[in-house]
Amino acid sequence: MATLSFFNTCFFDFGAVGRLPKAMAALGISKPLLVTDQGIRHAGIADRILDHLGDRSQVEIFDETPGNPTEAAVMAATRQCRDSACDGIVAVGGGSPIDLAKAASLMALSDRPLADYAGVSRGKVKQVLPMIAVPTTAGTGSEVSVGMIIIVQDGRKLTFVADEFIPDIAICDPDLTSGLPAGLTAATGMDAVTHCIEAVLSPVVNPPAEAIGLDGLERAIAGQALERAVADGADREARWNMMMASTEGAYAFVKGLGAVHAMSHACGALPGLHLHHGTLNAVLLPAVLRFNADGSAEKLQRIGRAMGLAAADSLADFIRLLNARLGLPANLAAMGVTGNHIEGLAEAAAQDMATQTNPRPVSRSDYELLFSEALDMA
Ligand SMILES: [Zn+2]
């Protein structure tokens, strides 16, 4: 078993989920709130986790996490946590349950409104409940990251960043992803790939984080773990490498993300559409890569090398063709976004935190052009 010690301790191996009782004991958790969603429950994964937790009467379950976590859902989980006097949280699922659990671990011990903690809230967070994250997808990296994304009451999709939001312990068991359908494997996998690419391109100086991002790309793309995991969900080596690429993506994005995430967050907040974060990133990536080409030549070459591309290959074209092979949509129009959305999306993206670490400054009008390009890209 690999034990990765960066911001938290991450137990990483097939069967690592067996570590859960010890992890809970180490954090003094005796009455956990298990935060998950309906999909994980129906897939039987929540039961597999409960089997490791011993006395089920001591476990509270919140399984109402929406596809994109909302403040209302956070507060429902928080009430359950308080009412049952839970002393810690175990999050099981993709990025949404893990992010919702982070917010609940904060709100369980806070009387201020959630939005007060938006942005980089150094020093504002006094206390959070102990938390263990068990990812069941390979993409978000939320199990080792300082951030969470929540749609607050007024409809904005906000990023929250604080060291306290890093789960105390992460348990990465690639076997938990073996039943993930091909479509979700592709979409979440492209989220991990986008994290690695945007983190490397970010102008923040942090060569170790960059090296981790490049390793993630080598595993996912040059090593073909992503395409193999999509083609055959039971390919355990591919699942291991995708989960590692996902965790690495989050280690890398301590440097920040970029315009792809700013645009993707804006689209993810569109009411009624419930668009998947990873799918959005995959679809938006080619247009942003072309926009960022000016001034990022050396980094784009390093990224291309890590991905096993020839020097003359266009990274944007490679991603476009990869998306098609993975069965992902070609453009935003195919996802239900229309020209009428663009103005609002551009405004939201320009305000998004990820805009600040895009390698090339992006204005609101740049975003309008980028959204138009991504809307009907062939
Ligand atoms: Zn992401």
What tens digit of pLDDT does each residue of 316-347 get? 999 999 999 999 999 999 999 999 999 999 99
* 242 Cα–ligand 1 center, Å: 14
How is residue 236 written in tokens? 């355990």
* 58 Cα–ligand 1 center, Å: 33
DSSP state of 218: I
Q: What is the pLDDT of residue 287?
A: 97
* 281 Cα–ligand 1 center, Å: 7
CA–CA dist 165, 161 (Å, integer): 7
Q: What is the pLDDT of residue 273?
A: 92
Measured distance between the N- and C-terminal CA atoms of the chain, rounded to whole angstroms: 44
Q: Which residues of the chain have pLDDT under 50?
A: none
* 194 Cα–ligand 1 center, Å: 7
* 357 Cα–ligand 1 center, Å: 14
* 116 Cα–ligand 1 center, Å: 23
Q: What is the pLDDT of residue 286?
A: 97
Q: What is the pLDDT of residue 268?
A: 92
Among candidate residues 373, 355, 354, the one with its CA nearest the CA of residue 364: 355
The percent of residues in the chain predicted with pLDDT above 90, rounded, is: 88
CA–CA dist 240, 308 (Å, integer): 20
* 246 Cα–ligand 1 center, Å: 10
Q: What is the pLDDT of residue 126?
A: 85
DSSP state of 174: G
* 20 Cα–ligand 1 center, Å: 26
Instruction: Please say whether the beta carbons of 274 and 264 come within 8 A.
Output: no
Q: What is the pLDDT of residue 236?
A: 98
Burial of 167 (0-12, 13-18, 19+ CB in 10 A): buried
Among candidate residues 91, 94, 112, the one with its CA nearest the CA of residue 168: 91
* 121 Cα–ligand 1 center, Å: 20
* 192 Cα–ligand 1 center, Å: 7
